[in-house]
Amino acid sequence: MDIMGVLQKLATESGFAAFVLTEGGWKNLVMILIAFVLLYLGIVKKFEPLLLCGIAFGCLLSNLSYFIGMGDNALYHPELWSQFLDSSSPYYHSYGHIMSNAGLLDFFYIGVKAGIYPSLIFMGVGAMTDFGPLLSNPKSLLLGAAAQLGVFVAFFGAVLLGFTGPQAASIGIIGGADGPTAIFLTTKLAPELLGPIAIAAYSYMALIPMIQPPIMKLMTTEKMRKVKMVQTREVTKTEKIIFPIVVATFVILLLPSTAPLIGCLMLGNLFRECGVTDRLSDTAQNALMNIVTIFLATSVGATMVADSFLNLDTIKIVILGLIAFGISTAGGLLGGLVMYKTSGGQINPLIGSAGVSAVPMAARVSQDVGRKYNKNNYLLMHAMGPNVAGVIGSAIAAGFLLSVFG
């Protein structure tokens, strides 16, 4: 046995050597540092930790195991997915080819690529969400619609910055403030941007308490912020049961491309409300949600390989994402201001900013800002209406973009 030969082989095949010996190996090192920063943000700063820890660790695993020209031990193979998407490749849309060559994270990623994980997350969100505030005040839907402004402004901005139509659509949806929707649409339209878009979407969702209040203060007066809203009507159990059936039927017929997201969202909600599927509701909002979150986060993180992440486009996406979030907040507030005027000052415009989805964080921000100006003001339940309307609104926006660019 040639001991020196074995040692030399081990040394040249090690990841440490690969940092220096492979083409662009140093970029892996940078990505590993980025993964550490994301882990720090998730664990210490608690920025969406359930997602960010998984994303960061997926990124770490991917960049520890994949080096250009040394793909044998890789957990994620970007070249396999490039062939999968290349219509001139013999392996175009071949899951068989992926599965016969895949690493662990490639297998996880199949669930993202097929749109399974975001839809299952939506089922869990549906099972967790009480649509009662929306049912008691259906006008909240207007705020959910108004707050999609950032999606389309960012889309336009991305086109101006030179992105293709499908890429711009995927960047724009960051403004919907809905991680699963952003991942769902990006996987379909611009999978090469999945890493930066997912990171931008979840980071900004975590930063909502910092992004929104200055815009809220800028666009409203103190008098408006102090408005105390009256109690809305009580919603019956029957209404809550009928709601998911009506929404699924109506929205999917209107925009069939929303079927996976809206269908799962409403199925989860039906489990919650119908009263005879408590076990399924419990599974959807806990066990299933947690399992899918693990797979979704790690596989999205795995797509953050150096070559596709370390470029100017990532910086542009981060900036456009922030603009999208800001404009969506402003759009919702504009809707709130219109409702304030038309209702004769009965509606507090602060609830408009909750229309950006991001349940329930955006509604909490409305509540917190409102209470700062009026200690006896409880806006939370009023803000939950636009907040859940935003989930439906961002799914419709994604459905529209998918039907145009898909």
Partner 1 sequence: MQDLVNISIPTAAGTALLGYLVVFFGLVLLMIVLLIMGSVFEKKRASAEKAAAIPAPTREAPVLTMENTLPKAKGTAGELKLYNTEPKDAAMIMAIVADTLGKPLNELRFISIREVTDDEV
Phi and psi angles of residue 343, each rounded to the nearest 5 degrees, phi first: -90, 5
Torsion region of 307: left, alpha or beta (phi above 0 gives left; psi -120 to 50 gives alpha):
alpha
Minimum distance from CB of 258 to partner 1 (Å)? 9
Nearer to partner 1, 132 or 301 (CB): 132
CB atoms within 10 A of CB 215: 18
State the amino acid at position 343 in one-letter form: S
Residue (41 or 135) nearer to partner 1, CB: 135
Q: Write out the H or E segment, with its range, that includes residue 296.
A: helix 287-302
* Comparison of 296 and 356: residue with beta carbon closer to partner 1: 356
Tell me how far, at minimum, the Cβ of 152 lies from partner 1, in Å. 4
**Token duo for residue 316:** 């542009």
State the first-to-last Cα distance of the chain, in angstroms, to the nearest integer.
57
Instruction: Name the β-bridge partners of 67.
Output: 70
Q: What is the CA radius of gyration of the chain?
A: 23
Q: How many residues would you count in the chain?
A: 406
**Residue 48 phi, psi dihedral angles, 5° rounding:** 40, 60
Least gap, CB of 340 to partner 1 (angstroms): 18
Q: By C-beta, is 74 or 153 nearer to partner 1?
A: 153
What's the closest the beta carbon of residue 384 comes to partner 1, in angstroms? 15
Nearer to partner 1, 139 or 217 (CB): 139
Phi-psi region of 65 (alpha: psi -120 to 50; beta: other; left: phi over 0): alpha
Minimum gap (Å) between residue 248 Cβ and partner 1: 11
188 contacts: CB under 8 Å, gap ≥ 6: 115, 402, 406
Residue with tokens 């815009």: 215
Please identify, using beta-carbon distances, which residue of 141 and 280 lies nearer to partner 1. Answer: 141
Give the nearest distance from C-beta 30 to partner 1 in angstroms: 30
Residues that bind partner 1 (CB under 8 A): 134-136, 138-139, 141-142, 144-146, 148-149, 151-153, 155-156, 159-160, 164-166, 168, 172, 233, 236, 238-239, 242-243, 246-247, 250-251, 254-255, 389, 392-393, 396-397, 400-401, 404-405
Is the peptide bond prior to 166 cis by the omega test (within 30 degrees of 0)?
A: no
Closer of 231 and 238 to partner 1 (Cβ)? 238
Nearer to partner 1, 26 or 156 (CB): 156
Q: Measured from the CB of residue 66, what is the shortest distance to partner 1 in angstroms?
A: 28
Closer residue to partner 1, CB minimum distance, 64 or 242: 242
DSSP label at residue 360 = T
Q: Please name which of 185, 206, 203 lies closest in space to residue 119, comparing C-alpha atoms.
A: 185
Listed residue (137, 136, 176) closest to 155, CA to CA:
176
Least distance (Å) between residue 172 CB and partner 1: 8
- Residue 255 CB, shortest distance to partner 1, in Å, is 7
Closest CA to 325 of 182, 221, 164, 163: 182
**H/E element, 6:** helix 3-13
Q: Which two tokens mark 280?
A: 């399924």
